[in-house]
Amino acid sequence: MPNALEPLLDWLERLEGSQMADWQMLPDIGLYMDQVQTYIDRQLGLYLKDEQDRLLTAAMINNYIKDNLIPRAEGKKYHPVHLALLMITAALKPVLSMQDLNKLLDGCRESEDASRLYQYFLNVHSHCLKTSAADVRDILSHLQAQDLDEQGQRTALRKLALELSVEARMRVLVVEKLLDALDQLAAGEKAEPAAEGKKKK
């Protein structure tokens, strides 16, 4: 097979080694907006399409604050809580709507809660990176061994892209239902104290 798959195989190998900073390694000195953007781009470089790409703009971050997705900056400076929530948001915004991200991050805007969620996110992210990259690399290596012509390569890659797209869509559908259930549970918890208050009267 020609070398059309070599760049993909090389990228998948680099992907497996990608790793984001643990909570303890997040800058705690307070970063300004442009520093935050640069830091997140470096941490999530695997999601950048090219060198000119930027995962989060200043306008996006300001909108996340207005929508209560992340806490307000402290004196125009962003701390580990902001960085952790922004990295989760930057990684997942192509998959989830802002409304669904809000459900996911609800109750995790304080340092301790954000730390636990971020660490879990890192563990899941790392596991999925390794397993997904390894699975796709195995498939591509198998295709490479078949020495397909150009038309055969296009057909094989199109089928693999379709298969992974359908799988990703089904998983997003399940996630949306899980977040709806989470939202209903949260609404029920808020309704219970109100009902108890009325009974006391």
pLDDT digits (tens, 9 = 90+) for 13-64: 888 778 899 999 999 899 999 999 999 999 998 888 877 788 999 999 999 9
Per-residue pLDDT tens digits for 102-134: 999 988 889 999 999 999 999 999 999 999 988
**Which pLDDT score, from 0 to 100, does residue 1 have?**
43
Rg of the chain in Å (alpha carbons): 21
User: What does pTM read for this prediction?
Assistant: 0.85
Query: Which two tokens mark 127?
Result: 């596991």
Query: Which two tokens mark 174?
Result: 């399940």
Q: Cα(188)–Cα(194) distance, rounded to whole angstroms?
A: 10
Q: Is the dihedral of CA 163, 118, 63, 18 positive or negative?
A: negative
What's the CA angle centered on 22, arms 20 and 23, to 5 degrees?
130
Q: Cα(88)–Cα(79) distance, rounded to whole angstroms?
A: 15
